[in-house]
A and B are shown apart, each in its own frame.
Chain A
Amino acid sequence: MSALLSVTDAHVAYGKVEAVRSVSLEVGQNQIVTIVGANGAGKTTLLSAIMGILPLKGRVGFAGQDMARLDIEDRVAIGLGLVPEHRELFVTMNVEDNLELGAFRIEKRKAKASMEHVYTLFPRLKERRKQLAGTLSGGEQQMLAMGRALMGAPKLLMLDEPSLGLAPIIVADIFRIVTELRASGVSVLLVEQNAQAALKIADEAYVMELGEFVLSGKASDIAANERVAASYLGFQHEGASVL
C-alpha cells in the first residue's frame, strides 16, 4: 500500500535562509505520525509548505497525486487539512458559522452529517454554537479549529502544536480525540513540542533539528532513545550529548 502523504527531498527557504533542508517523510493510511523537535527547528515551516502556504522545493505527493501545482484551496478539496498554530479562526463569527465554512467545498447534505460528527467529538462546541469564536477559551478555540478542519472531511489532518498554551486536562482531551480520529479513518500528522504526549499516541515519529530530520522510526523506539529522552522528554541522562 502506498503512503497517503509522501514528501521527498523537501527544501523550504525564507529568502536565502533555508529553514527546512532535504526532508523526506511519509504518512500512511490510518496512521498518526509526529514530528518532534525544539522551538525553531522548522516544524511549522514544513507543515505550511506541505499545505502550500510557503513555496517548497522538492516533491509532495498526496493520495497518489503530485501537489506541485495545487493551491491551498485545491489541497483542501482533495482531502488535506491543516490546523495552524495560530488557529486562524473567523473570530467575529459564531461557532456554527465557522464550522459551516469549514465545509465550503463539501455538499450540503454531507456537511450536515459532518457537523453532527464534529459535535459528537467536541460536545463543548455544540453547547457554544451561537457564541462568537473570538470569545471562546483557548481550549475551545483549538477544538473549533480542529472541528472546522474536520468539516472538510480530510483524509489527512495536520495539527500544528495543538497543545500549546492549554491546560493539561484539555491537552489530554485533545490527544484522546486525535486517537479517535485515527480510529475513524483520518490520518494525522502531528507537530508537537510536547514530545512525550505526542510519542505516546503516534505510530511513527521524526525528530527535527535545525531544519533537518536527525532521527526517524517507530514512535515507541524514538521514545526509548536515550538521546531523544535527554533532549526532548525532560529526563536528564548524565553524559548524554545533544544529537
Chain B
Amino acid sequence: MNTTIMLFLVQDGITNGAIYALLGLALVLVFAVTRVILIPQGEFVTYGALTYASLASGQMPGTAKLALALGIGAFAFDLFVARKALHGRLILRSFLTNVVLPAIVLALTIYFAAQKPPVAICIALSLVIVAMIGLYLYRVAFQPLAHTSVLVLLIASVGVHLALQGLGLLFFGAEGQRGPAVLSGSFTAGALRFTGQSLTVYGITIAFIVGLWLFFGLTLYGKALRATAVNRLGARLAGIRTTLSGQIAFLLASVIGALSGIMIVPITTLYYDSGFLIGLKGFVAAIIGGLVSYPLTAVAALFVGLVEAFSSFYASNYKEVIVFMLLIPVLLLRSLAAPAVEEEKD
C-alpha cells in the first residue's frame, strides 16, 4: 500500500468515524438519561436521509404523515393521563405541540414537495420532521414505561426499531436513494482530495460536538439533563421532571440521527434499512465508551471508522465482521475490570 492510498483510507475513516461519533454520543446521552438503549437511532438516520432525498427530488415523504399520526397518539396519551383533572392550559399546550405543529409541517411539506425546493428548505423540513418523530415516539413508546427495567425498555426499543423499519419500506420503497450534496465542489491539497461534502461532515460534526459541550456545560437545561443522568432521584427532588429530560434527550438524538443521514446520503446510497448498520457502529463506539463516557465514545467512533476503512481495503467481505469483532475484546476487558453492577432501582 502506498501513502496515497493510506491517506485516502484515513480520510474516509475519519469522515465515517465523525458520523459514528455523533450517533454514539446520542446513544450515550439517551441511555444515561432514560436508560433506553436506542436501537431506532439508525432509523432516525434513514428517515432523515430519505426524507431529504425525497424532498430534493420533488417527492412527498411519508414521514411527515407519520409525524402527525404519532403526534395525535402522543396527544391522546396526554389526554388519557390528564383525564381526572383536565387542566386547560396543559391540554392546549399538548395540542399545539403534538397536533398543530406536525399538521403545519405536513402542510408545508406537501406545499414544498410539489416544487423541488432548494437544499436549505429540504434540510430544515427533514430535520423538523424527524425531530418530531423522535419526540412523539418518546411520549408514545417510552415515557409510559419509564419506571420499568432496562430490559423492558430494550424490548420496546427493538419493537420501535422494527416498526420504523417496516414503515420506512412503506414510505420510501426498496430502492436506494441519493441526495444532493450540501456543499458541492472539491479541492486538492497534496495527494488528498477534499470534497465539499466531506468538509461539511467535519464542520457539522465539530460544530455539533462543541454545541453539545456548551449546552451541557453552560445552560440550565443542559445541566438538568446531566443531573438526571447522574442521579435520577436527586434530579426529581430538585424539581427536574424526568419526562422533560427524556424529551430533550430524544429530541437531540433524533436531530443528530437525521443530520447524520443528511450528511451521508450525498456520499452513499441509502436504503430503508441501511440505518440499522450505521447506528450499530455508533453503538460499538458507545459500548467501548461504556455507555457513559462522551470523550471515549467520540475517540472510539473515529477508531471504528478507521478500522472499517482499512478492513474494507484489505478484506472488504469481512468489513462488518471485523468492526463488530472489536466489541469482543472490549467487553472481555470491561467484564474483568468492572465489578458486577446491579440494576438501579427507583
User: Across the interface, do A105 and B230 meet the contact criterion of CB distance under 8 Å?
Assistant: no
Cβ contact of A90, chosen from B85, B231, B239, cutoff 8 A:
B231
Provide the bound-state CA to CA distance between A71 and B235, in Å.
Answer: 13
User: How many angstroms between the C-alpha atoms of A89 and B226 in the bound complex?
Assistant: 12
Min distance, Cβ B3 to any Cβ of chain A, angstroms: 43
Assess whether B84 is interfacial by the CB under 8 Å rule: yes
CB of B223 within 8 A of CB of A101, answer yes
On whether the beta carbons of A69 and B85 are closer than 8 Å, the reply is: yes
Chain A residues near B237 (CB-CB < 8 A)? 51, 72, 76, 81-82, 84, 88, 149
Contact, CB under 8 Å: A104 / B231: no
Q: A88-B231, A92-B230 are in contact. Are A97 and B236 (CB under 8 A)?
A: no
Assess whether A76 is in contact with B239, with CB atoms less than 8 Å apart.
yes
A149 to B235, CA, bound (A): 11
In the complex, which residues of chain B have a beta carbon less than 8 angstroms from the beta carbon of A51? 237
8 Å CB interface, A91-111 against B: 91-93, 97, 100-102, 104-105
> Contact: B233 with A53, CB < 8 Å?
yes
B residues less than 8 Å from A69 (CB atoms): 84-85
Complex CA distance for A149 and B240, rounded to whole angstroms = 12
Interchain CB contact (< 8 A) of B226 among A76, A77, A93, A151: A93
Check A104–B85 contact: CB distance below 8 A: no
Chain A residue nearest to B240 (CB atoms) is: A104
Q: Which bucket holds chain A's interface residue count?
A: 20 to 34
Chain A contacts with B in 41-89, Cβ cutoff 8 A: 51, 53, 69, 71-73, 76-77, 81-82, 84, 87-89
Q: In the complex, which of the residues B224, B234, B237 has the most CB atoms of chain A within 10 Å of its own CB atom?
A: B237
Interface flag for A11 (CB, 8 Å): no
In the complex, are the beta carbons of B238 and A104 less than 8 A apart? yes
Count residues of B near A (Cβ-Cβ below 8 Å). 18
How far apart are B90's CB and chain A's nearest CB, in angstroms?
12
A101 and B238 within 8 A (CB): yes
Return the chain B residue nearest A152 by Cβ.
B239
> B116: CB under 8 A from chain A?
no
Bound form: Cα–Cα A123–B235 in Å: 24
- Taking a contact as CB atoms under 8 Å apart, the answer to whether B85 and A88 are in contact is no
Contact of B239 among A73, A89, A97, A100 (CB under 8 A): A73
B154-178 toward A: CB 8 Å interface, digit per residue (1/0)? Answer: 0000000000000000000000000
The answer to whether residues A148 and B238 also contact, given A69-B84, A101-B223, A104-B220 and a CB cut-off of 8 A, is: yes
The one of A88, A105, A152 in contact with B234, judged by C-beta atoms closer than 8 angstroms, is A88
The reply to whether A73 and B241 form a contact with Cβ atoms under 8 Å apart is yes
Please name all residues of chain A whose beta carbon is closer than 8 Å to the beta carbon of B259 when the two chains form the complex: none
Which residues of chain B are within 8 angstroms of A105 by Cβ–Cβ distance?
239
- Chain B residue with the shortest CB-CB distance to A89: B234
Chain A residue numbers with a CB within 8 Å of B239 are 73, 76-77, 104-105, 152
CA distance A76 to B236 in the complex (A): 8
B223 touches A93 (CB 8 A): yes
Bound together, the chains give a CA A89 to CA B220 distance in angstroms of 16
A87–B235 alpha-carbon span in the complex (Å): 11
Whether a CB of chain A sits under 8 angstroms from the CB of B227 is: yes
Given A69-B84, A101-B240, A105-B239, A90 contacting B220 (CB threshold 8 A): no
Contacts of B223 in A (CB 8 A): 93, 97, 100-101
Chain B residues near A104 (CB, 8 Å)? 220, 224, 238-240
Q: A residues within 8 A CB of B84?
A: 69
Q: Which residue of chain A is the closest to B85 with respect to CB atoms? A: A69
Closest to B346 in A: A53
Give Cα A152–Cα B240 distance, bound, in whole angstroms. 11
CA distance A151 to B220 in the complex (A): 14
Residues of A within 8 A of B85 (CB): 69
Known: A53-B233, A100-B220, A101-B235. A90 touches B226 (CB 8 A): yes
A76→B240 CA distance, assembly (Å): 9
> Could you tell me the distance between the alpha carbons of A148 and B84 in the complex, rounded to whole angstroms?
33
Residue of A nearest to B234 (CB): A88
Mask, A98-136, CB within 8 Å of B = 1, is 001110110000000000000000000000000000000
Structural contact, A91 and B231, CB atoms closer than 8 A: yes
Q: Name the distance in Å between A118's Cβ and chain B's nearest Cβ.
A: 13
Instruction: For chain B, residues 261 to 307, give those with C-beta under 8 angstroms from any C-beta of chain A.
Output: none
Q: How far is the CB of A51 from chain B (nearest CB, A)?
A: 7
Bound Cα distance A149, B191 (Å): 60
Q: Mask for B84-101, Cβ within 8 A of A = 1, else 0?
A: 110000000000000000
Q: Is the CB of B238 within 8 A of A93?
A: no
The smallest C-beta distance from B232 to any residue of chain A, in angstroms, reads 9
Q: Which residue of B lies closest to A102 (CB)?
A: B238
Q: How far is the CA of A72 from the CA of B231 in the complex (A)?
A: 15
CB contacts under 8 Å to A, within B290-335, are: none
Contact of A101 among B227, B233, B241 (CB under 8 A): B227
For B230, list chain A residues within 8 Å (CB): 90-93
Query: Which B residues are CB-close (under 8 A) to A81?
Result: 237
- State the CA gap A90–B228 with chains docked (Å): 9
Knowing A90-B227, A101-B227, say if A72 contacts B220 (CB, 8 Å).
no
Question: What 14 additional pairs, Cβ within 8 angstroms, besides A90-B227, A101-B238?
Answer: A73-B241, A76-B236, A81-B237, A91-B230, A91-B231, A92-B226, A92-B230, A97-B223, A100-B220, A101-B220, A101-B235, A102-B238, A104-B240, A152-B238
14 residue pairs bridging A and B, Cβ less than 8 Å apart: A69-B85, A71-B241, A73-B239, A76-B236, A84-B233, A88-B231, A90-B231, A91-B231, A93-B230, A101-B224, A101-B240, A149-B237, A151-B238, A152-B238
